[in-house]
A and B are shown apart, each in its own frame.
Chain A
Amino acid sequence: MPEPSAAPRTGAGMLRQTIRRQGRRLLLAYPLIIAWQLGEALTPVVIGLVVDHGIAGDDLGPFLLWLGVLAALMAGFSLAYRFGGRLGFRSVQEESHTLREEIGGHVLDPRGADTDQLPGEVLSLATADANMTGIVVRQFGFALGSLTAVVVIGVWLLWTDWVIGVLVMLGMPLTVALTQLLAPAVARRTTSQQATIARAAGVASDLMAGLRPLKGVHGEDVAAGRYARASLDAQRASITMARSWGVLSGVSSGLSTLFLGIVAAVAGIRALDDAITLGQFIAVVGVAQYLAEPIVALGELTAQAAASLASGARISRFLHTPPLVPEGPVELNTPADRLTVEELDLTVKGGDLVTIVSDDPAFDAALIDTLHGTRPGGGRVLLGEHELSALSIASRRTSMLVVDHGADLFEGTVLDAMDPDRALSSEQLDVVLDASAAHDVIAAHEDGLDHHLRASGGTLSGGQRQRLVLARSLAADRPVLVLHDPTSAVDAVTEQRIAAGLRSVRAGRATLVLSSSPALLDASDHVVVVRAGRVADRGTHRDLLARDDTYREAVIR
C-alpha cells in the first residue's frame, strides 16, 4: 500500500494526471482528431477545386479526378474520426473507470478511510464526478484543435492583409478573454450543483439503508418528502447553473458574431480601398465565419474545464481523507496468539475463552473500536508482545478477528460467505456450521451451501443472520477471536448449543466475548465484570454467581 494516497492534491493535478495517464492513447487520438477537423475545413476548398478544374474546364477527365480527390478527402477524415474518436472516447471511459477503482479502493483500503461522505455521495463521486474528470480529455482535444485552427488562420490572415491580421489576432484573444469574466461564476454554480446532486443521492442511499425501519412506521411518504426536498435543492442549483451557462453561451456566441461584423466592416472598407482583392475579401469573411466556432468553443471550454476541475478536486479531496486505522511498521512472522487489554488487566491466551460482562453499551462499543484500532487513545492493547498500533494491518489480520455486533452479510452464496477462498474441507465447514448452529439455516434451502444470499441477508431472520455471521467468524479460524454479543438474536436452547460449540471449535485458541448470556458465561474459563467502565470483579461464572449478588442480578434473567 502506498503510504499517503498517490493521487494529486488539486483538481488541476487530477486533470493533468488524466492527460498523463491517457497520454499514449491521446498521442494517437489528438492528431487524428485534428486531421479530421482539418479535413472538414478543407472540404469547401476541394469543392472549389472541383468547380475550377472540372466544371469550369468542361472536361470530364479533370472533373472525375477532382471528384476522386474529394472522395479520398471525405473517406480520409471519416476514418480519422472513426479511430481518433474511438481512442478519445476510450480515454475518457478508461480514466473514469480508473478513478472509480481508486475511489472504491480508497473506501476499501485495508486501513479504512475516514471520509465524510454517505454511500450515495461516494456513488455520485465514482460516477458523475469520475466522468466529469475524465471528460477533460475531450476539452483538451477541442482546445488543441481550436488553437491549431486559430493559429493557422491567424498566420494566413497576417500574410494576406496586416490590418485584418492584427485586428483578428488582437480581437480573438480579447473576445475569448471577455467570456472568461463569466467563467468563475459558472464554475462555482456547477460545483454547487454537483454537490447538491450528490447530497440527494446521499439521502436516497440512507433511506434505502433504513428501508425496514422506515416501512415499519409507514414512513414512506415522509421519507419520499425528504428526498424530494434534497431533489428540489438539486433542481434549484441546476437551474441556477443552467442560467449562468445560458448567459455564458449567449455572451460567447454574441461576441463571436459581433467580432465577425467588425471584421466584415473593416475588410469591406479595405476591399473598397483596394487594399485587398475581392477574392481575398471573400476568403477573409469566410475564414472569419469559420472562426466563430473556435471562439465559442474556447470561451465555453474554460467553464467546462472549471466543472471538471471541481470534480477532480472533489475526488482528490476524497482520496486524501486519512485512514481510519493508523498502520504500524511491525510485521509478525507467526501470528500472535494472545490478546492483552491493559485497562482491564486482561490477557486472553491460546485455549482461553473469556467473557466480559458490562453494564454499559457505550463501554462495549468503545472496546470494540479500540480492538479495531479505530479509536487511537483507547488504552493499550497488545497482540502477542506488540502493541496493536505498532503492528501492520496484515499482521493484525492473520492474528485476530474482531466481529462487530452488526456485522454485514454480503450478496453471494453461503459458501462464498463462509469460505471465499475454498480453503476449507467439507468436514471443517461442517464443524463450524455445527458449532454455530447454522446447519438448519442452510438445510432450509434445497441448494444448501450454494444458496444465494442477498445483500444484508435479505429474507433471513435476525437469528439466522447472526448464526451465519458466527459461522463465518469461526471459519476464518484466526488465533484470536473477539465476538460482540454473538447470540443476542437466537433462542436460549440454541444459545446453549452455540456456547458448547464455541468452546470446542475454539479449543486451543484465544477467544474473547462481550455478552451477558449465562450460557456463554458458563462456557467461559474466566469472566470479567465491568461496571461504570471499570473492572468490578472477575472469576468463573459459577464463583461469581455464588459470591457476587450484583453479578447474579445482572446475568440471571
Chain B
Amino acid sequence: MSRAILPIADRRTTTRHAWALLRSHRGPLTVSVLLFAVVGFAGIVPPFVLGSIVDVVNSGDGTAREVLTRSAIIVGAAIVGAVATTGSAVLLAQAANPALARLREEVLDRALHQDTERLEAAGTGDLMSRVGDDVRQISESLDNAIPEFVRAGVAIAFTAIGLFALDWRLALAGLLAAPFYVFALRWYLPRSAPFYRRERIAQGERAEALVAGVHGAATLRALGREAGARGRIHHHSRATLSQAVQVFALLTRLFGRINFAEWVGLTAVLTTGFLLVRADAITIGAATAAALYFHRLFNPIGAVLMIFDQIQSSGASLARLVGVLELPSPTPEQPHEGSPVVRLDGVSHRYGDGPEVVRDVDLEIAPGEHVALVGSTGAGKSTLAAIVAGHVEPCSGERDVRGRLTLVSQDVHVFAATVRDNITLAAAGLDDDGVWAAMRTARCAEWVGGLPNGLDTRVGHLGHPLTTAQGQQLALARLAAHDPQIVVLDEATAEAGSSGARLLDDAAHAVIAGRSALIVAHRLSQAREADRILVMEHGRIVEAGTHDALVAAGGHYAELWEAWSAPTLAD
C-alpha cells in the first residue's frame, strides 16, 4: 500500500518513551513489583515445607502435631499469596491503566493538531488502530509480562541457589543450557520483529477498511458496491491474520529451540550426576534432586524468555504511538491585539507533486471588510481559503494572518453529541445564554428550542435526525460562539441544497457581520453583498472590484453573473 501512514518511531525513541512512561508511575509500579515478588516467595514456600513434612514422616518418630504445624505454614503462605496476588494486580492496573489512557489521549490530541491533509492521507483507520489495537496490545503485554517476569525471576533465583547449594558441579552442568537459550532468542527476535511491525500496519489498513465501509455504507448500497467494500475488509483482515499466523509459527519454533536448550541442560545435569555418582562424589539423592530442581526451572525460564517476545510485540505497538507523539506539537494561536490582519504575498501552492492550484496570489482584507472569492469550480478557491485559514501551508509566498479566525467549509458534520456540545466545541466555557445567543445569530434558536430536550438533545449519528441545512446552521452557530475576528466561509451554504439556501445565506450574513470575511461563493447573491469581489481562474486572481464595476467591465465575472441571474438557459 502506498498510503502515507503516520510516522512510526525508531527503537531508541520508543525505548526512551517507554522508560519515561515507567518512571512516571514508578511508585505504584515498584510496590506492585515487590508484591509480585512476595507472590513468588509465597509460591516457593509449599515445596520446601512439603520437603520437611517428608522428613517428619521419614524420621519414624514424627507426630501429627509436627505435620499440622508445617501444614499451617502452607496455609499461611496461601493467605499471604492471595493478598499479595490481589494487591499486586490492583496496583499494576492502577499504574498501567492511567498511563495507557494518557498515552492514547495524547496520541489523539497530537494527531488532531496535525494538518488535515496529513491526517486524511494517513486515513482514519491508521489513527483508530493506534489508539485501539495498539493500546490493547500493550495493555495485554503489561498485564501478563510484569507479573510473570517477577514471579519467574524469584523462582529462578531460589531454584538456582538451591541447585548450587546441592553441588556446584551439577549446577555448572545445568549452565550448559544457557548458550542454547541465548541462541534461541537470537534466532527468534530479528525474525519476528518485521512480522509484528507489518501486523500492526496491517491492522491499521484493516481498521481503515472497516471504518470506510461503515461510514460509506449508504452510498455503497445505493451504488450496489457493498461487495467491493466487503472484499476490502476481507482482504485486509486476511492480511492481518496471515502476519499473526506466521509470527506465531515462528514463536512455536522458538519454543522448540527452548525445549532443546532444556534437554541439553537436563542431559548435562543427569550425565554429570551419573559420572559423579559413579565416582562416589555425590549420593543418588543429590543427583535426583538436582535433576528435579533443574526441571523446575523450565517454566520460569520460558516465562522470562517470553518477556522478550512481549517487549518486541508491544514495542511494535508502542513505536506507532510514540511516532505520533514525536510529531511537531502545534504552535498555539498567537493572541492578537487590535485589528485583524489578513495579507497574502505572492502565494503559490500545489498538493504533493500535483499541478499548481494557486499561483502567485496577493490578497489583503481590511478589518471588517467582506471579500467574496468567485470563479469556476476547480479554480483554486478552496485551496486559497484553506491557506488564509492556515489549514494549508503554502509552497511559496508570504502569509501574514493575525487575529482569531474561523473557517466553515462545506463539509457538514454534526457531532454525535448534544446540541450544546456541538456548539461549545468552539468555545469550551460558554454558558447556555452564550449558546442561545450564538443560535439566535445563526437563526437556529427556534428549531433547537423545539427539539425534544432542547440543548440536551443528542444529534448527529444515531441522534435526533437533522437536515443538512440544520447541520450547517449549527456550524454557523459554532462560528458565532467562537467569536472570531476573521471568518473564512468556503461554500458554507452550498451543501444545504437549494431549499435551505435562503435561510442559510441569511444566517451566514448575520454571523459575519462586523468581522473580516473571505467568502468563497457560487451563490453570487452572496458575492453581490460583499464589499469586494475577487475572481479566480486557474489559480490566479484575474479580476477584482465591486459587483457593479465587474458586471460593467464585462469580463469573466460578468459572464458568471449572467449565467447565475438568468432565469432560463440561453437558447
Hey, which chain B residues are within 8 Å of A67, CB to CB?
A: 267, 270-271
B74 touches A204 (CB 8 A): no
Q: Is A519 close to B, CB under 8 A?
A: yes
Within the assembled complex, what's the spacing in Å between the Cα atoms of A219 and B266?
A: 64
Residues of A within 8 A of B497 (CB): 361, 364, 405, 484-485, 488, 514-515
Query: At the interface, yes or no: A119 with Cβ under 8 Å from chain B?
Result: yes
Answer yes or no: B16 CB below 8 A from chain A CBs.
no
Residues of B within 8 A of A387 (CB): none
User: Beyond A51-B287, A85-B252, A361-B500, is A264–B214 a contact (Cβ under 8 Å)?
Assistant: no
- Closest-CB distance, A218 to chain B (whole angstroms): 6
Check if A262 sits within 8 Å of B71, measured CB to CB.
yes
Within A225-278, the residues touching B (CB, 8 Å) are 225-228, 231-232, 234-235, 238-239, 242-243, 245-247, 249-251, 253-258, 260-262, 264-265, 268-269, 271-272, 278
Question: Which one of B96-104, B153-161, B334-342, B362-370 is at the interface?
Answer: B96-104
Complex interface: chain B residues within 8 A of A258 (CB):
74-75, 78-79
Q: Is the CB of B93 within 8 A of A239?
A: yes
Question: Is A78 touching B255 in the complex (CB atoms < 8 A)?
Answer: yes
A462 pairs with B124, CB closer than 8 A = no
A358 nearest in chain B by CB position: B499
| Contact present for B241 and A97 (CB under 8 Å) | yes
- Mark contacts of A542-553 with chain B using CB atoms, 8 A cut-off: 1 yes-contact digit, 0 otherwise: 100100000010
Q: How far is the CA of A239 from the CA of B374 in the complex (A)?
A: 56
- Does B498 contact A516, Cβ atoms closer than 8 Å? yes
**CA–CA, A146 and B260, complex, Å:** 26
Q: Please encode chain B, from 479 to 499, with 1 for each CB lying within 8 Å of some chain A CB and 0 for all others.
A: 101100000001100111111
Q: Closest approach, in angstroms, between the C-beta of B35 and any C-beta of chain A?
A: 10
B211 touches A234 (CB 8 A): no
Contact B101 A235 (CB under 8 A): yes
Contact status B81-A47, CB under 8 Å: no
Q: Does B24 contact A (CB under 8 A)?
A: no
B contact residues, range: 35 or more
Most buried by A among B62, B67, B209: B67
Q: Mark A85-109, 1 if CB is under 8 A from B, else 0.
A: 1100110011001001101110111
Residue from A213, A484, A488 having most chain B Cβ neighbours under 10 A: A213
Name the CB-closest residue of A to B571. A522
* Chain A residues with CB below 8 A from B101, complex form: 231-232, 234-235, 238
Contacts of A517 in B (CB 8 A): 498
**Which B291-348 residues have C-beta < 8 A from chain A?**
291-292, 295, 298, 330, 333
- Chain B residues with CB under 8 Å of A82's CB are 252-253, 255-256
B14 at the interface (CB under 8 A from A): no
Most A CB contacts (10 A, CB to CB) among B123, B377, B469 go to B377
Chain B residues, Cβ within 8 Å of A204: 108, 127-128, 131
CB distance from B384 to the nearest CB of A (A): 10
Q: What distance in Å separates the Cβ of A198 from its nearest Cβ neighbour in chain B?
A: 9
Contact B112 A454 (CB under 8 A): no
Determine the chain B residues whose CB is within 8 A of the CB of A257 once the complex forms: 42, 46, 74-75, 77-78, 81-82
Number of interface residues of A (CB under 8 A): 186
Q: Does A390 contact B (CB under 8 A)?
A: no
Is A63 in contact with chain B by the CB < 8 A criterion? Answer: yes
Contact of A246 among B89, B139, B287, B461 (CB under 8 A): B89
Q: B444: CB under 8 A from chain A? A: no
Output the least CB separation between A37 and chain B (Å): 12
Interface secondary structure of B, over-half rule: helix
Chain B contacts for A492, CB-based, 8 A: 522, 524, 560-561, 563-564
Residue among A126, A251, A289, A464 with max Cβ neighbours from chain B (10 Å): A126
Cβ-based interface call for A422 (8 A): no
Asked whether A112 is an interface residue with its Cβ less than 8 Å from the other chain, the reply is yes
| Nearest CB of chain A from residue B68's CB, rounded to whole Å | 6
Instruction: Give the residues from 111 to 136 in chain B that come closer than 8 angstroms, CB to CB, to chain A.
Output: 112-113, 116-117, 119-121, 123-125, 127-129, 131-133, 136
Contact with B along A66-84 (1 / 0, CB 8 A): 0100110011011101110
Contact residue among A101, A254, A491 (Cβ-Cβ distance under 8 Å from B522):
A491
**Is residue B440 contacting chain A, with contact meaning CB distance below 8 A?**
no
State in angstroms the CA–CA spacing of A255 and B414 once bound together.
54
CA distance A249 to B411 in the complex (A): 51
Contact B569 A519 (CB under 8 A): yes
Stretch at the interface among B175-183, B190-198, B220-228, B395-403: B220-228
Partner of B121, one of A217, A238, A458, A541: A458
A253 to chain B, nearest CB (A): 5
* A170 interface residue per 8 A CB criterion: no
Q: Which of A100, A228, A281, A495 contacts B57 (CB 8 A)?
A: A281
Tell me if A467 counts as interface (CB < 8 A to partner B).
yes
Contact A210 B378 (CB under 8 A): no
Q: Is the CB of B124 within 8 A of A209?
A: yes
B450 within 8 A of A: no
For A522, the chain B residues whose CB sits under 8 A away are 567-569
Bound-complex Cα distance A475 to B567 (A): 29
**The stretch of A150-158, A326-334, A341-349, A406-414 that contacts the partner chain:** A406-414
Known contacts A107-B217, A123-B207, A257-B81, A74 near B74 by CB under 8 Å: no
Complexed CA–CA distance, A246 and B90 (Å): 6
Question: In this complex, which of B2, B121, B237, B566 has the most chain A Cβ atoms within 10 angstroms of its Cβ?
Answer: B237
The 8 sampled A-B contact pairs (Cβ below 8 Å) are A50-B291, A206-B461, A212-B411, A250-B81, A258-B75, A441-B378, A455-B212, A459-B117
